[in-house]
Structure 1
Amino acid sequence: MRIYQIAIASALTILVSIAFACADNGTGDKKSTASISELPPIPKEMSYANEPVPLVNFDTYESLQREIMVNTFWHSQTLFNLMQASRYFPLIEPILKANNVPDDIKYITIAESSLQNVVSPAKAAGPWQILEGTAKQYGLEVNENVDERYHVEKATEAAVKYLSRAKESLGSWTLATASYNIGLTGLKRHIERQKQASYYDLLLGDETGRYIFRVLAFKLILSDPKSYGFDLTKKDLYPPLQYTQVQVDSTIEDLASFAIANKTNYKLLKLYNPWLRTNTLPKNPGKVYTIKIPKEGFRENAYTQR
């Protein structure tokens, strides 16, 4: 047993050495990410939602540097974020623009969920991680059969309403974004207690204290991935889903049969419409649902035609 342990340890040492050598030399694959001997770049100046980030302050600079390093060298997750953004940002960006909300707000979805339909320990759900009570407050339907927190466009509309209200109350998009993590009441309490009006001058808990810097790091990396070692081509990114839409104002007893009738299957129907939470869609008086139907041929040709 001891011999086997030594052999395994030796093999692992060799593999790690090879990995570091490949990361460090300049003759390797062009798509290899930055080596750990190189610090990722930090701009001399930057803004968030058209509001300046005081990088001249050492604490601001170091906080941003920490989040950039974490996400630059967390290769698999950052690659996944880049791929997801290619699919879902085109759905989010027009809604932000239509509501006069800065485009930078979209990076909240990466910080919150990596654009996945996850559920937090506090039961916040969907790409924008919205609590059930907040969802209903901002017009989303949440019940056994339908949960619009998983509807990217509708959840974005709800998030926009919250953030616009928070910005009006707090005076800046930066503070509004911080409140998305800690809550409006909680952030106001810190502002009043510490007598400071800037996020960058507030002493906050670890999660909220890092939150804006995580969003900033995602903005930098996703806006200019090559500078952070991620040399992806268009073919590497997830293509936006292509679909037609069907409006429904009556009960669908069996979504599997509905899918087949629309030349798709239950799996794809749920992939395109994750807000459908069961295998039926009861009629909701006065409401018309819009269901996305996968475009014929897209599944087979999504990558081959790029």
Structure 2
Amino acid sequence: MKLRVEQISMALGLIGISTLLIFARYGERDDVGQKEDFKDNYSIYSLPIPEHLDFAGEAVPLDDPQVVEAFDRELLVNTYWQSQTLLFIKRSARHFPTIEKILKENGVPLDFKYLPLVESGLTPIVSPAGAVGFWQIMESTGKQYGLEIDREVDERYHVEKATRVACAYLKEAYAEFGSWTLAAASYNMGISGLKKQMERQRENSYYALNLNPETARYVYRLLAVKEILEAPDQYGFHVRAKDRYLPQETFTVKVDSSISHVAYLNEKYGINYRILKYYNPWLRMENLPNPQSKVYEFVIPKKASNTQDQPFDPPITQPAAEQSNH
């Protein structure tokens, strides 16, 4: 017992000495010492510019110093905004397979998978201007390309349908400009707006145009995100496979009738409202009027239910909680 007490006393003494040493080194450093510690232990590096860059197979003119500096700015911002770029890498693992498949089906270069990262970070956000979803589609544009947008349903949040609309827009822009780089720039400022600037300046290259600050940075952001995500370890991002947000196994439930409350779906397939909304963000309300008997497809995670083979038949009666409100 005496030996144990002595050992404890010795350990406490060592801890005390260590604490004093740490305090002496860091707690009472003068300005010169503090500056030296900072210089010796903290480093930020400038980044080498790749010898070749391209977007959708179209070369970037790296012999132009202003082009190099514009790209360098975005490369630095996205490398040293570590939390955002780390989330880009994690989220891309879940959503890129779906987006890539639709891009291929529509003949749009795969480099455009980076566009929704730049637009929204692959999150279903709403911009101050009212653009919605991964692809940041305005209401007028969505309706122009056939999306359903009303109080109960907003298909701009539907990843597959919104991606197809983006493809249609980009192909239209490519037909207008003959350049995927210009098509990408037009996604930010509009086909007519970009065309007007090209005619005014008598230039036909994105890299030669003098554009508003947002569009002037837009393609360089795409290039920087592409560069980092294609070789993340070279920029200090080490993400294990198990740390990525991988796709979840799901099944689809087709509904061609009205739903007075989505609690029916939740109860049927063993999920809750939060899960239903996550997988079906296009559903904006708790009910779904469907006077034209349109077929809607609800995505349900498999792990949440063992009833994936059962069709959905809305009950005639309402839940008791709903009845009590009338």
Taking structure 2 as the reference length, the TM-score comes to: 0.80
Between 1:265-274 and 1:284-293, the stretch displaced more is 284-293
- Cα offset, 1:21, TM superposition: 6.5
Do the aligned partners of 1:259 and 1:269 also contact (CA within 8 Å) in 2?
yes
Among candidates 189, 196, 204, match of residue 197 of structure 1: 204
- Cα offset, 1:268, TM superposition: 0.4
- Cα offset, 1:69, TM superposition: 0.0
Separation of aligned partners in 2, 1:121 and 1:20? 42
- Cα offset, 1:17, TM superposition: 9.5
Change over 3 Å in CA distance of 1:287–1:46 after alignment to 2: same
Separation of aligned partners in 2, 1:182 and 1:169? 14
Query: Which entry has the higher C-alpha Rg, 1 or 2?
Result: 2
- Cα offset, 1:287, TM superposition: 2.3
Residue aligned with 1:230, SS? coil
Separation of aligned partners in 1, 2:272 and 2:133? 23
Among candidates 156, 160, 170, match of residue 163 of structure 2: 156
Change over 3 Å in CA distance of 1:17–1:200 after alignment to 2: same
**Aligned residue for 2:52?**
45
Separation of aligned partners in 1, 2:39 and 2:251? 47
Separation of aligned partners in 1, 2:131 and 2:244? 27
Among candidates 198, 206, 210, match of residue 213 of structure 2: 206
Do the aligned partners of 1:135 and 1:142 also contact (CA within 8 Å) in 2?
yes
Change over 3 Å in CA distance of 1:90–1:182 after alignment to 2: same
- Cα offset, 1:273, TM superposition: 0.6
Change over 3 Å in CA distance of 1:191–1:282 after alignment to 2: same
Output the amino acid matched with 2:256. D
Separation of aligned partners in 2, 1:138 and 1:268? 28
Residue aligned with 1:292, SS? strand
Among candidates 253, 262, 268, match of residue 261 of structure 1: 268
**1:75 equivalenced with 2:82 (yes/no):** yes
Separation of aligned partners in 1, 2:142 and 2:34? 48
- Cα offset, 1:286, TM superposition: 5.2
Separation of aligned partners in 2, 1:18 and 1:294? 52
Structure 1 residue ranges without an equivalent (≥5): 1-9, 25-34, 299-306
Separation of aligned partners in 2, 1:15 and 1:140? 60
- Cα offset, 1:171, TM superposition: 1.1
% identical equivalent positions: 49
Aligned residue runs from structure 1 range 273-288, under 5 A: 273-285=280-292, 287-288=294-295
**Aligned residue for 2:300?**
293
Between 1:84-93 and 1:13-22, the stretch displaced more is 13-22
Aligned residue runs from structure 1 range 106-125, under 5 A: 106-125=113-132
Separation of aligned partners in 2, 1:234 and 1:75? 18
- Cα offset, 1:15, TM superposition: 11
Output the amino acid matched with 2:296. Y
Change over 3 Å in CA distance of 1:21–1:288 after alignment to 2: farther
Separation of aligned partners in 2, 1:294 and 1:19? 49
The structure with higher relative contact order (CA 8 Å, sep 6+) is: 1
**Aligned residue for 2:193?**
186
Number of residue pairs the alignment of both structures matches: 276
Q: For 1:95-120, what per-residue CA distance to the aligned partner results, in whole angstroms no more than 9, with x for missing partners? A: 00011110001111011000111111
- Cα offset, 1:42, TM superposition: 2.1
Q: For 1:197-246, what per-residue CA distance to the aligned partner results, in whole angstroms no more than 9, with x for missing partners? A: 00000011110000000011010111110111101111111111221100
**Aligned residue for 1:128?**
135
Between 1:100-109 and 1:252-261, the stretch displaced more is 252-261
Separation of aligned partners in 2, 1:15 and 1:164? 57
**Aligned residue for 1:234?**
241
- Cα offset, 1:55, TM superposition: 1.2
Separation of aligned partners in 2, 1:15 and 1:274? 51
Do the aligned partners of 1:150 and 1:275 also contact (CA within 8 Å) in 2?
yes
Change over 3 Å in CA distance of 1:285–1:190 after alignment to 2: same
Separation of aligned partners in 2, 1:250 and 1:21? 68
Q: For 1:227-285, what per-residue CA distance to the aligned partner results, in whole angstroms no more than 9, with x for missing partners? A: 11101111111111221100111011111221121121111011111111110111151
**Aligned residue for 1:32?**
none
**Aligned residue for 2:65?**
58
Taking structure 1 as the reference length, the TM-score comes to: 0.85
The CA RMSD measured in Å over matched residues stands at 2.2
Separation of aligned partners in 2, 1:176 and 1:139? 21
Output the amino acid matched with 2:262. L
Residue aligned with 1:146, SS? coil
Among candidates 83, 95, 110, match of residue 88 of structure 1: 95
- Cα offset, 1:40, TM superposition: 2.5
